[in-house]
Every structure is written in structure tokens, then in C-alpha cells.
């Protein structure tokens, strides 16, 4: 496989140069076929995700193929208008002219996907890269072999390989791919690998989108409805077994309600999963390495609920940790598993010092009925995006850009933002010839300088 990589890319570049992907109807047709393939293989998708980490079908639909179908529908519906040259207001200084933004694909795109939503996070960027007229090499995660194979099969069935192809493999394949000269790289994964990707891209000055992670805080004040808050927190934290980049990583709760919130959380965990070990609705940890990493985090902290595990089954119970110190292992890096630390605060300064202890997070959540507190929090902190009085749901609205800031990522996508990500905006001024104001040409004169200064004052 490694030896084939340069050929795959040069074939894609040659295909791109045929201009075939510039044909919008061609793109729409292929997206329609992709949609049909995904709909007809729904059962296979559910089965692959279940085999990879016991993901329940309900969660699979909601967060994988359901979201993907919605993204394809949006692209099919709007592609003609998104891809048309956009007329913009001309500058009087350029009179006479008509000015446009032409939507131009970058060329050959590399997409590297993670394992935690292995179908959606591979196919969603592919949809908008193709919609924008690029060719794509997609490398899904090696940690979900069943789903990644299915992604490869679907892509092979639908696309000519010069237009889109899947290259499977782990770090060695990824490393080889990153050595090549791409026109765009779209990466979803960890902060540490994101830095490797950025370095590789810099060698060829390749533009990148980096969809990374981080410790996403969730603030809960004492005005909130505790039972509803607990229900939404349990859903958002333990969905996908807590292996979600935008899961609330830890809570910051007003001290006076902390114990009541912990009781409400326990109650909601039991209502959702009963004995989670036997629940069909509770996924497993992806592999032994992550399982060991997560169980190590439970050492030396106060477990308020859960904490039991079974290595054979890669099962780790929904777990609540009470007041871990900021320098404890569980508070060092993104948890990325079903462990929820609960910290308390007295003043807004306490919240600030906790949040600013970490890099800028991918998401931030607030549960509160206090509008001033909510608005202050949104304005005060720097983070990718988030929700008020809920968790995760901002991800599902394609009218909102999804992406991080600082260490949690560079760039954004979803819906039109995804199309824009994979599109170069080519600025074109079409100049008229019927009149040619002479003052910009040499020899320059003082009166023309005065005239141009006046024009800048009036028209710019
Ligand atoms: P990862 O960074 O380990 O792997 C992601 C991809 O990079 C995989 O395809 C892998 O094969 C490849 N890779 C791994 N090591 C590499 C290396 N040294 N050089 C080149 N490529 C390499 O991430 P993961 O474990 O698959 O996913 C978990 C992380 O992804 C979490 O940090 C999570 O927050 C983040 N994530 C972010 C988003 C988002 O949309 N922002 C979504 C899902 C996951």
C-alpha cells in the first residue's frame, strides 16, 4: 500500500486536471448515489459500529448515518447556488467593472479521520470536499476496522478511484500520506497528532483544517432545574461511552447545589442504563490502550458513583468523580471516556481560574436561567462553540460552523461552512473598456495625487 500512495495521488491530480469535477451536475449525481448507498447499507453500518465498540443503533443513526444523510441532502439541494460565481459590489475606484467571487476547488484533498464517530467523521468531510469539486484520498481510523472497511467499500462502489478513494492503515500509512504534496488537508483527531499534521502541511504550504479536542467545561449555577440538567448531562457525557470530542469533560458546579446535582446525576444514570454492564445502550471503550489509560485516571480520586470496570469486555461504568485537584491525572488532559469530574465554585472568579487553567476548549456549556451570567460566560471565554442548558446539540445544526480555536482546532465545517472550507474564493474583477479614466497612469502629477486622495476619501 505504501508504495502505491504517490501513484494514487498523481492519478487523482490528473483526474482533477481533466476538469470533470468542475461539472456541478456530475458532483450532484455522485452525491445522490452516495446517499442511496448509505441508505441501503444502514444495517451494515449499524452492525459494523456495534462490532467495533458496541455502539447502539439509536446512537449510530443519530450521530453517524443520520447526520451524514442530512449533510448530503443539504449539499444536493444547495450545490448549484453555492458553486455559482457570486457577484459582489464593485468599487467606484475601479469603475467601470463587475466584480465576482468564483468558487474554485483546491484540487486533491487528504482527509484523515478518527475512530470515535468513524463513519460520520470520515464521510461528512468527504461530502463537502466532493461537493466543492475536489478529489479525495480518505484515511479512516485503523481502530474501527469494521466501520473503516465499510467506508472503503462504499467509496469504492460509488466513486471512480481517481475521484475518491480510501487508503486504510495506521500511523505508517498516515505518515506516508502526510509526506505527499496535497492541495488541502482536513484532519480530525488528537491535539498531538494535529501538530504533526500541521508540520507536514507546512512543508508544502498546504492549507489545513484541524478538528481537535480538549477539556470542554460545563458550568452549572444554582438557578437551574436540577433534574433536567442532570438528564441532559448524562445523555451528553455518556453518549458513545463518553468518547465524544465535545462531551462535557468536567463540571463546575455552584457549591450549594453540588450534592443535590450528584444525586440527580446518579438517578439519571440508573434511569438511562440501569446496570450499565448489561445495557444494550451503553458502548464499550474502543481498545485496551484507552481502557488502561482511563482506569488509571480513577486512582487516588474520590469516586462518587460508578468506577467499576471489566477489562475483558472493555467495560467502564459511567463514573462520577468528586472534587479532583486540578493537578490530578484526571484533570490533566481530555478524558475521552465515561468519567465525569465534578468541581465546585463559589464566585465567578473561581470559574475563570479553573477554565483559564486549560487551553481553549472545543466546547463550553452553561446550565443557568440567569441571562446575564450566560451572556457574560459566552463573551468572556474563548472556545469553539457550545450550548446553553444542553450538551452536544450545537453539533447537529448545519447552519452553525463547527470547529475549535487555539489548541482545539483550526477552521470549521458543516453545511455551507464545509463547502467553503474546501473552496478557494477566487476574486475576479471584470473591467469594462468603454471608458478609461487616465489619472492612475504615469507620468504622475500633483493634481492627480490630490484627485486620488479625494476619491479615496469619498468612495473607500
Ligand atoms: P488520533 O489523533 O490518535 O488519530 C486520528 C487519525 O490520525 C487516525 O486516522 C490515525 O491513524 C492518525 N494518526 C495517529 N497517529 C498519527 C501520527 N503519529 N501521524 C500521522 N497520523 C496519525 O485521534 P483518535 O484517537 O482517533 O481520536 C480521538 C481524538 O480526536 C480526541 O482528542 C478527540 O477530541 C478528537 N476528535 C475531535 C473531533 C472534532 O471534530 N474536533 C471529533 C472527534 C474526535
3-state class (DSSP) for residue 255: helix
Same domain, 419 and 388: no
CATH number of residue 346's parent domain = 3.40.309.10
Residue that the C-alpha cell 447552519 belongs to: 399
Residue 368 confidence (pLDDT): 98
**pLDDT, tens digit, 9 for 90 and up, residues 374-398:** 999 999 999 999 999 999 999 999 9
Tell me if 432 is assigned to some domain.
Answer: no
| 362 CB within 6 A, ligand 1 | yes
| 168 CB within 6 A, ligand 1 | no
Compute, in angstroms, the gap from residue 114 CA to the centroid of ligand 1: 5
Same domain, 13 and 115: yes
Beta-sheet pairing, 97-105 with 423-431:
antiparallel
Compute, in angstroms, the gap from residue 11 CA to the centroid of ligand 1: 27
| 115 CB within 6 A, ligand 1 | yes
Query: Computed over its alpha carbons, how large is the radius of gyration of the chain?
Result: 25
Tell me if 443 is assigned to some domain.
Answer: no
Same domain, 237 and 171: no
Specify the DSSP element, H or E, that contains 380.
helix 371-380
Compute, in angstroms, the gap from residue 110 CA to the centroid of ligand 1: 14
Residue 1 confidence (pLDDT): 66
Going residue by residue through the chain, which has 460 residues, state the pLDDT in tens, using 9 for 90 and above: 677 999 999 999 999 999 999 999 999 999 999 999 999 999 999 999 999 999 999 999 999 999 999 999 999 999 999 999 999 999 888 889 999 999 999 999 999 999 999 999 999 999 999 999 999 999 999 999 999 999 999 999 999 999 999 999 999 999 999 999 999 999 999 999 999 999 999 999 999 999 999 999 999 999 999 999 999 999 999 999 999 999 999 999 999 999 999 999 999 999 999 999 999 999 999 999 999 999 999 999 999 999 999 999 999 999 999 999 999 999 999 999 999 999 999 999 999 999 999 999 999 999 999 999 999 999 999 999 999 999 999 999 999 999 999 999 999 999 999 999 999 999 999 999 999 988 889 999 999 999 999 988 988 7
Residue with CA nearest ligand 1 atom 22? 171
Tell me if 446 is assigned to some domain.
Answer: no
Tell me if 246 is assigned to some domain.
Answer: yes
Atom of ligand 1 nearest to the CA of 214: 34
Residue 439 confidence (pLDDT): 86
Residue with CA nearest ligand 1 atom 40? 211
Compute, in angstroms, the gap from residue 350 CA to the centroid of ligand 1: 32
| 359 CB within 6 A, ligand 1 | no
For a pocket test of ligand 1, which of 148, 188, 189 has the largest count of ligand atoms closer than 8 A to its C-beta? 189
| 193 CB within 6 A, ligand 1 | yes
Specify the DSSP element, H or E, that contains 148.
helix 145-158
Same domain, 114 and 149: yes
Tell me if 456 is assigned to some domain.
Answer: no
Q: Which residue from 263, 258, 262 is spatially nearest to 345, judged by alpha carbons?
A: 258
Which of the residues are catalytic? 211
Show the cell assigned to 276.
450499565
Residue pair 140/111 in contact (Cβ under 8 Å)? The answer is: no
Compute, in angstroms, the gap from residue 313 CA to the centroid of ligand 1: 23
Instruction: Output the DSSP codes for 71-122.
Output: HHHHHHHHHHHHHSPEEEPPPGGG-SEEEEEEEEE-SEEEEE--SSSTTHHH
Same domain, 164 and 36: yes
Compute, in angstroms, the gap from residue 194 CA to the centroid of ligand 1: 8
Tell me if 368 is assigned to some domain.
Answer: yes
Same domain, 235 and 198: no
Tell me if 435 is assigned to some domain.
Answer: no
Residue 438 confidence (pLDDT): 87
Same domain, 107 and 181: yes
| Domain housing 370 | 217-403
| 342 CB within 6 A, ligand 1 | no
Compute, in angstroms, the gap from residue 116 CA to the centroid of ligand 1: 9
Residue pair 309/295 in contact (Cβ under 8 Å)? The answer is: yes
Residue that the C-alpha cell 460566560 belongs to: 377
Same domain, 320 and 363: yes
Q: Please enumerate in sequence order all residues whose Cβ is within 8 A of that of 224, keeping only pairs 6 or more positions apart, or say none.
A: 257, 367, 368, 369, 389
What is the strand order of the sheet 217-220 is part of? 302-305, 319-322, 339-345, 250-254, 217-220, 363-367, 385-388
Same domain, 111 and 62: yes
| 409 CB within 6 A, ligand 1 | yes
Same domain, 146 and 242: no
Say if pTM beats, i.e. exceeds, 0.95.
yes
Atom of ligand 1 nearest to the CA of 115: 26
For a pocket test of ligand 1, which of 115, 124, 190, 293 has the largest count of ligand atoms closer than 8 A to its C-beta? 190
Same domain, 59 and 20: yes
For residue 440, the tally of other CB atoms under 10 A from its CB is 11
**pLDDT, tens digit, 9 for 90 and up, residues 289-304:** 999 999 999 999 999 9
The structural domain count of the chain equals 2
Residue 92 confidence (pLDDT): 84
Tell me if 66 is assigned to some domain.
Answer: yes
CATH number of residue 141's parent domain = 3.40.605.10
**CA pair distance 4, 13, nearest whole angstrom:** 14
3-state class (DSSP) for residue 284: coil
Same domain, 292 and 145: no
**CA pair distance 237, 246, nearest whole angstrom:** 9
| 364 CB within 6 A, ligand 1 | no
Amino acid at each position: 500500500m505504501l508504495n502505491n500512495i504517490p501513484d494514487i495521488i498523481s492519478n487523482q491530480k490528473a483526474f482533477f486536471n481533466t476538469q470533470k469535477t468542475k461539472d456541478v451536475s456530475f458532483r450532484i449525481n455522485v452525491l445522490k448515489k452516495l446517499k442511496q448507498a448509505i441508505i441501503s447499507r444502514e444495517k451494515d453500518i449499524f452492525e459494523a459500529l456495534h462490532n467495533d465498540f458496541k455502539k447502539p443503533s439509536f446512537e449510530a443513526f443519530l450521530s453517524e448515518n443520520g447526520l451524514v444523510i442530512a449533510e448530503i441532502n443539504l449539499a444536493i439541494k444547495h450545490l448549484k447556488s453555492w458553486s455559482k460565481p457570486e457577484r459582489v459590489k464593485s468599487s467606484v475606484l475601479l469603475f467601470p467593472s463587475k466584480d465576482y467571487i468564483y468558487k474554485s476547488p483546491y484540487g486533491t484533498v487528504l482527509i484523515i479521520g478518527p475512530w470515535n464517530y468513524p463513519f460520520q467523521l470520515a464521510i461528512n468531510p468527504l461530502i463537502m470536499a466532493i461537493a466543492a469539486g475536489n478529489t479525495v484520498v480518505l484515511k479512516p481510523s485503523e481502530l474501527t476496522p469494521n466501520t473503516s472497511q465499510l467506508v472503503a467499500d462504499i467509496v469504492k462502489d460509488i466513486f471512480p478511484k481517481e475521484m475518491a478513494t480510501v487508503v486504510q492503515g495506521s500511523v505508517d500509512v498516515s505518515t506516508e500520506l502526510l509526506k505527499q504534496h496535497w492541495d488541502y488537508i482536513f484532519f480530525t483527531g488528537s491535539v498531538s497528532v494535529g501538530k504533526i499534521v500541521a508540520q507536514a502541511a507546512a512543508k508544502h504550504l498546504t492549507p489545513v483544517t484541524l478538528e481537535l479536542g480538549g477539556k470542554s467545561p460545563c458550568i452549572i449555577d444554582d438557578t437551574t432545574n436540577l433534574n433536567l440538567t442532570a438528564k441532559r448531562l448524562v445523555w451528553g457525557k455518556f453518549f458513545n461511552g463518553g468518547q465524544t470530542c465535545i462531551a462535557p469533560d468536567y463540571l463546575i458546579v455552584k457549591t450549594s447545589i453540588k450534592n443535590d446535582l450528584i444525586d440527580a446525576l446518579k438517578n439519571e444514570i440508573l434511569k438511562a442504563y440501569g446496570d450499565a454492564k448489561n445495557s444494550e445502550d451503553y458502548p464499550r471503550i474502543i481498545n485496551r490502550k484507552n481502557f488502561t489509560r482511563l482506569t488509571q485516571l480513577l486512582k487516588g480520586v474520590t469516586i462518587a458513583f460508578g468506577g467499576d470496570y471489566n477489562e475483558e469486555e472493555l467495560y467502564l461504568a459511567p463514573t462520577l468523580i468528586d472534587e479532583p485537584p486540578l493537578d490530578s491525572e484526571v484533570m490533566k488532559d481530555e478524558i475521552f471516556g465515561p468519567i465525569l469530574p465534578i468541581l465546585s465554585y463559589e464566585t465567578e472568579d473561581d470559574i475563570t481560574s479553573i477554565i483559564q487553567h486549560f487551553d481553549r476548549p472545543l466546547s463550553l456549556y452553561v446550565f443557568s436561567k440567569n441571562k446575564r451570567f450566560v451572556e457574560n460566560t459566552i463573551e468572556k471565554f474563548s472556545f469553539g462553540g457550545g450550548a446553553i442548558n444542553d450538551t452536544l446539540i450545537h453539533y447537529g445544526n448545519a447552519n452553525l460552523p463547527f470547529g475549535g480555536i487555539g489548541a482545539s482546532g483550526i477552521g470549521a465545517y458543516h453545511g455551507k461552512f464545509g463547502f467553503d472550507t474546501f473552496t478557494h474564493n477566487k476574486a475576479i474583477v471584470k473591467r469594462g473598456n468603454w471608458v478609461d479614466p487616465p489619472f492612475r497612469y504615469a507620468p504622475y502629477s500633483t493634481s492627480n495625487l490630490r484627485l486620488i486622495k479625494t476619491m479615496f476619501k469619498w468612495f473607500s
